Amino acid sequence: MFSPESRQSLTCAAYAATALVVDGASRAISLPNQAGNEFLISYGHDILFPVQSYFVLRASWLNNIHKDRFNWVESVGAAATVFGAASFCELLQKVGFYEGTYDSSDFIAYGVGVGLAVTLDAITFRKTNHP
């Protein structure tokens, strides 16, 4: 029905959309304790945004390279790109280039987010046709 490339692109899009919905929902719900709310609002987005970005980037790359399997080089490249861009934006907040609150803990959240994305990618798209 769908080619392997189309299935992988759709799966990447589904992961990105799910992360987007969970991110939005996390801003709308209220947890019973203040610490949980603070964590969810402060770091939930910083964890989920890299997941969204990673899978959007991977979906766009699937049309060009190694469509049929997971590849560590491509995955690390996507993870480094997402982590680098998020970190760069955080540093721009620190120097006052745009409005926002600089928080050095955000770098950890970005790392957790890309780590989660790479793990999900590796589990979902592991090579099924061994040479």
Q: Is residue 90 part of a domain?
A: yes
Q: Is residue 113 part of a domain?
A: yes
Q: Is residue 117 part of a domain?
A: yes
Q: Helix 106-124 crosses helix 4-28 at what angle (to 10 degrees)? A: 150
The reported pLDDT for the residue numbered 12 is: 76
The reported pLDDT for the residue numbered 86 is: 94
CA 54-56-62 angle, 5° bins: 100
The reported pLDDT for the residue numbered 116 is: 94
Q: Is residue 71 part of a domain?
A: yes
Q: Is residue 130 part of a domain?
A: no
Amino acid at 110: Y
- Are 63 and 37 a contacting pair, CB within 8 Å? no
Q: Is residue 129 part of a domain?
A: no
For the chain (length 131 residues), average pLDDT per consecutive 10?
66 80 72 71 86 86 57 83 94 88 92 94 67 44
- Are 114 and 79 a contacting pair, CB within 8 Å? yes
Flag whether the pTM goes above 0.75.
yes
Q: Is residue 39 part of a domain?
A: yes
* Parent domain of 105: 4-124
How many folded domains does the chain comprise?
A: 1
Nearest to 21 by CA among 2, 42, 44: 44
